[in-house]
Amino acid sequence: MAKPPVIGGASLENLFSLLTHPQVQVRELVRLELEKQPADKVVAKAKSLVVSAKKDEELGLELLWLFERAKDFSETGLIRHLAKSKNVNVRRAAARSLRWWATALGGEARDMAKTFWDSEDDRTRIAILSVASHLQRTDPTWRDFIDNADVDSGSPVGRVAKLAGMYKMPSLNREFPLLNVAPEANLAGWLQNASRSGGSLIVKSDKAQNLVLGFRGNAFINLDLNYIPLHRATGSQHTRNGQINITLAKGPNKITHFTNAGGKSRGGNANLYLANLVGARPTGLTFAKSDDEHLAWMKAYDEANAIVTEDKIRLKAVPAKMAFNATEIQVKAGHKYEFIFENPDHMLHNLVITQPGQAFKVGEMVDAMTAQPDAMAKHFVPDTDLILFSTPQIPYGGKFNKKFTTPEKPGRYPFLCTFPGHWRLMRGIMIVGEESPKPVYKPTPRKTSAKPSSPLPGKVLVSSEGVTIETASTPDGFQKIPLPKGIKTQVTANHCTRNQKLSILTDGKLTKDFGPIFGNGIRNGSYKMDLGSIKPIQSVKTWTYNMAGKRGNQRLQIFGSSANQDPGWDTTHFTPLGTIDTTSQAINHFTSTSLTPTKCKTLGSYRWILWKVHPLNDSGENTAFQEFAVELE
């Protein structure tokens, strides 16, 4: 019979030698004993063994867990090595540990998670869903792994994905249980909005007072108070009834409701009430006596408080929500405004406006400067010409005013809070001038056949400002947009694709096949190309095959980003380059499109090009893409 090893009181050297003991119970007891040792000595010894651990992966996992318990994440090379192990059990363990190492790894953590997911091992995918569930609370980009999990809903992975997706469900917070409210607290006299899907009400209060705003029987109702979002519906039946603690300001207050969820307008009654903290009708409130008086109050309130007026831009932080009160505003180009930023939240916040598509790059600069001793004195605002406007960090109850002239060039300019950790969540878009990205092609509708037209090689259907569309019956039949040679660059997708591999999208060949197509029902698919470095873009070209006579048309938006690291899939981190829609054209077997600059020499300089694609019909059938190409200046 083997003699049991001595664990209690053993030296550090002996304890580490037992971490790879064949018996699980011995290893468990060793871990407990190591926790009694001085943490600095344990970490130092573990670091001295990292090189050996890359050859002994079982020891590597033990060291990985020791570093996690000591909260020392400096040895990122260890988890990188274990993530590439040939042993699937080691890879699964590394995937589970990614949750703890994500901050140290930065954007690389998401790349590793994508590689884990693409392995198609069920246990590894379940581990990644667990990691994403934890990390999405502070970094919403991790929600992509949950939202885009293209798996069988009845499989083990599918069931875990469904549970992970419950992050969208509102939690049971202080709104439950509900306060019993007197009938006379019900609200009436709403002024309906233009779409008749909601309305607004002006309430005048003779003092600042804390009250309860409640709703009954509607899971799709959304509520705002004084241009600040209070409640956003998910359609969950858990929130058909709810109550929200609010503070009415002295003077006029505007309560707004509208019914929608998931971006779609919804029906339902607006049964709302306003009560004091014991459920009775509040005192000190005044309501309009007639529609004319109400309209006059509403006009006066909007003129004094609207987010964007002729000469003012007013934005606020939303209390306890890590958000601005508007995620999109539209302003005139080259126009002078008084910019007002208020912070009713108990955390510090500021507001920074960047050049189009540069929010991610500025955010990376913020992350890098947080370790600098003067970062707070600089209000966490990097010194860069990518920033057009900034405010200082504003404390609770503070307000900042500054004159601001909007850019002359129309476009979509991101704004964000640069307090450490906030910029990934707290952001929006300032649309300058026209909202539509340019160039935009919208052909005149015409009746089309479900089958390809007769072979007409190289027929140019449209050659308008910035957009060329050509169709051909054979791969070598294109005249205006000839097929390029294959290029060595990587294309990725935000969902799992089917049929062919993603690598065929840059092989310089067209085949009569589906290509790496998104499954039916996927409505937010995107492909992304990494050019390796920032380069001037002359054109972006796309080829498709009309599989089964219905998969060849293109409905897509094209974006660019000059970020140094992968900017993810959120298009607010990109610059819109153009929109293409060929669905009204009679196409042949193959179709190509080319997006080119209209006034400048190039579309701009970018490292990342993103194709955001849209289904071709109500059934959610997607396009059969065959080739992507980016022509450089």
Give DSSP secondary structure letters for 465-527: TTEEEEEESSTT--SSSPPPPP---EEEESS-EEES-GGGGGSS---SS--EEEPTT--S-EE
- Give CA–CA dist 626/515, Å, rounded: 5
pLDDT at 465: 60
pLDDT at 433: 86
pLDDT at 153: 80
Q: Is the pLDDT score of 473 beyond 90? A: no
Coil, strand or helix at 416: strand
User: Whole-number mean pLDDT of the chain?
Assistant: 86
Contact assessment for residue 383 and residue 443, using Cβ atoms and an 8 Å cutoff: no
- Give CA–CA dist 353/388, Å, rounded: 6
CA atoms within 13 Å, Cβ hemisphere of 608? 27
Closest of 595, 600, 580 to residue 629, by C-alpha: 595
Q: What are the CA-CA distances from residue 590 to residues 33, 459, 474, 502, 610 (Å)?
A: 67, 11, 7, 19, 22
Closest of 386, 244, 375 to residue 321, by C-alpha: 244
Closest of 142, 124, 123 to residue 133, by C-alpha: 142
pLDDT at 417: 96
Mind spelling out the 3-state secondary structure of 346-385?
CCCECCEEECCCCHHHHHHHHHHHCCCCCCCCCCCCCCCC
Instruction: Give the total residue count for the chain.
Output: 633
pLDDT at 585: 80
Report the percentage of the chain scoring pLDDT > 70. 91
- Give CA–CA dist 64/73, Å, rounded: 9
Q: Averaging pLDDT over each range in 232-241, 286-295, 594-603, which range is the top one?
A: 286-295
Coil, strand or helix at 619: coil
Q: Is the pLDDT score of 448 beyond 90? A: no
Q: Is the pLDDT score of 379 beyond 70? A: yes
- The mean-pLDDT minimum among 108-117, 215-224, 617-626 falls in 617-626
Copy the structure tokens of residue 418: 């640069």
Q: Is the pLDDT score of 264 beyond 70? A: no
- The mean-pLDDT minimum among 66-80, 388-402, 458-472, 551-565 falls in 458-472
Q: Is the pLDDT score of 558 beyond 70? A: yes
Q: Is the pLDDT score of 406 beyond 60? A: yes
